[in-house]
A and B are shown apart, each in its own frame.
Chain A
Amino acid sequence: MSTATAEPLVPQVDRLALRAQGISKHFEGVAALTEARLEVRPGEIHALLGENGAGKSTLIKVLTGVHQPDAGRIETAGEEVRFSGVRDAHHSGVVALYQETSIVPTISVAENILLGERTPSSGGLISWNRLYREARRQLDRLNQGHIPLRRLAGRLSPVQQTMVSVARALAADARVLILDEPTAALTDTEIRDLFTVLRALRADGVGIVYVSHRLEEVFELCDRVTIMRNGQTIVTRDVAEMTIDEVISTMVGRSAEDLFPERGTATDRVVLEVAGLRGNKVRELSFSAHAGEVLGIGGLAGSGRSELMRLLAGDQKRTAGTISVEGREVTGSRGVGRALEHGIALVPEERRSQGVSLGATIQDNIAIANLARVSNAGWVSASGIARLAREGIADLRIKTRGPRQQVGLLSGGNQQKVVLAKMLARNPKVLLLDEPTRGIDVGTKAEIYRLIRALAAAGTTIIAVSSELPELIGLSDRILIMHEGRVSGEVSAADADEELLLSYCYGRKA
């Protein structure tokens, strides 16, 4: 209490919901946090920003008792606390919801909301009536009464799963709610719903820490922002006082200009020709893409944009239509290997589950899509594998100790570079990129944009799906917007603005 009043210049708000000061944490001698600080008021949405590796995740883990800090002081509601585990943090009202959903998919919604100690019981038996009543009350508080209590949580949509985990945090009397990339898996409408709920919680006096790489969301939703860099807290300010450019330059420690490289590498030579394509969620699609062109594909989640990528990559069954590369038709209705042989390579949407094998080394990850290059009559060359990996590491500037480092130990951006290196080693004619910068820090994003443009300049045809409209506009030469499995609009990126693209996204012709 004395510390809260020790700063006379700070207007006496209320007691802070959470205050962390001088937090330091080392792993194996490497500093992950150096005197980091974070102050969360009750009833505010506080953005926590920084590039990957800036220390956000470590700070959150310290605040929620996953890690114990080497030094520093944590207070909740003015009282100093020490968390020796997640349970302690819960008891002090600090709850984090992580990127990957924190629900148990195989039990009901109601059981999820009142999981563990909160499950009402008498004499060791669960009181189902009380369980349902209490779960209903929590969902009603979030205005989510329509979520069926008895349904298996795994069957809910991603946003409903997020709502259920928020409800569980509330049931645990959370006073500080930490959300790590909560919108990563959500559609635009779902994001609206989530924001409505978060604003209601703010009005209720809950302090919310919001971690996101989507700065537009931060500016729309958050009251204050704390920016971290290299394990230190750089600044805490009101969001209204800052511009997006300021935020970005504070995060990367330099100016955010030239995030997107110059266009102008597209040629007239058609490389990819798609005619009458049909498949799951894709209905009658025809387009062509040129050498040196970056063709952006936009659309709402469920519009068929990811399915289109999987059809092109041979991962989903084509029910009608043709795909040709440089006039050569891709035979068969599916087969990733066949698409690769025709020069079509996919960098998939989910990096950690589809892009890289986290337990394997960099060189093994790269080699698996390039066995023909590193083998002779079925015999693999160990030196060939290492050489290929070293090339990829050098070309893409992957930050690593060497080709034998485990991919799971790399940062998200470097993992994405490994996926790119794997596919680029095949010298693809058509490179499909599904959300190429999802969950990647701004610095690495810029690097990947430059790389994509450099590939285009070398004659590769790039097809990039992105749910972030600024990225779509900045990166592409031409943009196709999909709606319900069809192309609802086509624009040159130079003439595109977000409003126009959004209207196409909703199927309206401009």
Chain B
Amino acid sequence: MAQTTDIVPAVEVPQDKTQMSQLLWQGGTIIALVALIVVFGVLSPAAFLSFGNMTNILAQVAILTIIAAAQTVVMVTGHFDLSVGTTATLAGATASALMINGMPVSMAIVVGVLVGTLVGIVNGILVAYLGISAIVATLATMTTVGGLAFIVTDGTTLYGMPESFNWIGQTRLAGIPMPVFFALIVAAVIWVILRYTTVGRRWYAVGGNSEVARLSGVNVRLNVLLAFTLAGLASALGGIILVSRLSSASSTSANDYMMLAVAAAFLGMTLLKSGQANIGGTLVGVGIIGVLQNGLNIVGVNTYIQQVLTGIIIIAAVLMSSLKSKNA
């Protein structure tokens, strides 16, 4: 690391990790998840390992899964979306406000999803067509959309959504809360899009090197716009399911999910040799965060310390993935 003045030399000699160390490297994040489960299982076997608590963890991470999947889509293209949390909040609040005021439930949900999609389109236009860096653009929309959520809720918490709406967040199927299934569906759909469709290939190509993608005939701007749009749409779904689960829509209900979604996606990036964002990895990341939060609660660690730990996990994940891309 003594390079002060010389820029990184061009790589000419292939440096391959051996199979075994590569496996360990890539498996590290999964091993961490298993280790966490073992540790909490030993510390508090009765409470932590019960079926009730396991389904509880799943229910807790369902919304995070959806929003982290949205974040993953944008990160695949090499960008960032800081507005996923407030977008989810706004979509949930909008749908709630509309149905409280008498709009049919399905109609209100559609409008809520459209609002989130619209935020995604705005993000996409700002980043892809107006050339604003994603961090700055989505930081601004995050703030603006967060403000709109306050306006929609009038700064209060909205109650009194119709019973038929609660079905989404509060019923169970085979003992497992409904949001878990929605989360799995969203994750699966995004996984399929990323892996098996041409648009997914283009997103990965843009994230790898947008200049190369452009010269290969990819419409880079349009594809970045599409990624942000899908992220907005998925975030909105997450926000709407959240308010249904809580039977209430506050002015900041889903805001905190943004940071956790970033953490999950970063953790997931450590799973691939190429260091790319990917849904499978993001799910592992979500698992780590969910188990950690739940386990710490059960063991009796307060939420403030949990927040400190979340930040540390993000740093560890980013360090791991940057170390790896140096070795790759």
Contacts and interface: CB of A to CB of B under 8 A. Distances in A.
A380 B196 CA distance: 5
B220 to A, nearest CB: 10
B4 A86 contact: yes
A32 B205 CA distance: 32
Interface in B181-220: 195-202, 204-205, 208-209, 211-219
Contacts of B7: 98, 100-102
Interface in A106-153: 115-117
A502 to B, nearest CB: 31
B12 interface: yes
Contact of A409 (B5, B16, B202): B16
B5 A368 contact: no
B164 interface: no
B274 A406 contact: yes
Contact of B215 (A64, A115, A336, A359): A336
Nearest to A365: B212
Contacts of A336: 214-218
Contacts of A52: 12
A407 B179 CA distance: 41
A490 interface: no
A353 interface: yes
Nearest to B16: A28
B174 interface: no
Interface in B236-258: none
B44 to A, nearest CB: 42
Judged by DSSP, the binding face of A is: mixed
A319 interface: no
A411 B309 CA distance: 43
A332 to B, nearest CB: 12
Given A313-B215, A348-B215, A27 B202 contact: no
Contact of B204 (A340, A360, A378): A360
Contact of A378 (B1, B197, B209, B275): B197
B76 to A, nearest CB: 12
Given A66-B9, A357-B209, A380-B198, A27 B14 contact: yes
Contacts of B10: 57, 98-100, 352
B156 interface: no
A305 B221 CA distance: 27
A221 to B, nearest CB: 22
Interface size class of B (residues with CB under 8 A): 35 or more
Contact of B201 (A115, A352, A368, A409): A368
Given A28-B15, A378-B199, A116 B216 contact: no
B215 A96 contact: no
A371 interface: yes
Given A340-B217, A357-B212, A87 B12 contact: no
A375 interface: yes
B173 interface: no
A102 B5 contact: yes
Interface residues of A, number: 64
A283 to B, nearest CB: 24
A261 interface: no
Contacts of A412: 12
Nearest to A60: B9
B325 interface: yes
A172 B202 CA distance: 46
Contact of B211 (A87, A98, A354, A368): A354
B20 interface: no
Nearest to B12: A57
B212 A354 contact: yes
Contacts of B1: 85
Contacts of B209: 353, 356-360
A367 B201 contact: yes
Contacts of B216: 336, 368-369, 422
Interface string A34-66: 000000000000000000110001100100111
Contacts of B275: 359
Question: Taking each of B202, B208, B211, B215, which has the highest tally of chain A beta carbons within 10 Å of its own beta carbon?
Answer: B215
B201 A357 contact: no
B208 A360 contact: yes
Nearest to A341: B217
A477 interface: no
Given A371-B198, A380-B198, A58 B13 contact: yes
A284 interface: no
A408 B11 contact: yes
A412 B196 CA distance: 30
A49 B113 CA distance: 62
A137 B38 CA distance: 66
Interface in B1-40: 1-7, 9-16, 18
Contacts of A358: 209
Contacts of A367: 201
Nearest to A314: B217
B256 to A, nearest CB: 32
Question: Taking each of B9, B275, B328, which has the highest tally of chain A beta carbons within 10 Å of its own beta carbon?
Answer: B9
A355 B199 contact: no
A265 B18 CA distance: 48
B205 to A, nearest CB: 4
A57 B8 CA distance: 13
Question: Taking each of B196, B212, B214, which has the highest tally of chain A beta carbons within 10 Å of its own beta carbon?
Answer: B212
Given A86-B6, A360-B208, A378 B198 contact: yes
A369 B15 CA distance: 28
A443 to B, nearest CB: 15
A338 to B, nearest CB: 8
A380 B201 contact: yes
Contacts of A368: 201-202, 205, 212-213, 216, 218
Contacts of A339: 217
A61 B215 contact: no
Contacts of A315: 214-215
Given A340-B217, A411-B12, A359 B2 contact: no
Contacts of B208: 357, 359-360, 364
Contacts of B328: 359, 406, 408
Contacts of B3: 66, 85-86
B12 A27 contact: no
Contact of B13 (A27, A96, A337): A27
Question: Taking each of B2, B214, B216, which has the highest tally of chain A beta carbons within 10 Å of its own beta carbon?
Answer: B216
A19 interface: no
17 contacts: A27-B14, A28-B18, A86-B3, A86-B5, A117-B4, A313-B215, A336-B214, A337-B219, A360-B209, A368-B202, A368-B212, A369-B216, A371-B198, A379-B196, A379-B198, A382-B196, A422-B216
Given A86-B2, A406-B274, 18 more contacts: A27-B14, A57-B10, A58-B12, A61-B9, A85-B2, A99-B10, A116-B5, A336-B216, A336-B218, A337-B219, A348-B215, A359-B208, A359-B274, A360-B274, A375-B198, A378-B199, A412-B12, A422-B216
Query: Which 6 residue pairs spanning A and B have beta carbons closest together?
Result: A85-B2, A357-B208, A369-B216, A357-B209, A337-B217, A368-B205
Interface of A: 27-28, 30, 32, 52-53, 57-58, 61, 64-66, 84-88, 90, 96, 98-102, 115-117, 168, 172, 313, 315, 336-337, 339-340, 346, 348, 352-360, 364-365, 367-369, 371, 375, 378-380, 382, 406, 408-412, 422
Interface of B: 1-7, 9-16, 18, 195-202, 204-205, 208-209, 211-219, 273-276, 325, 328
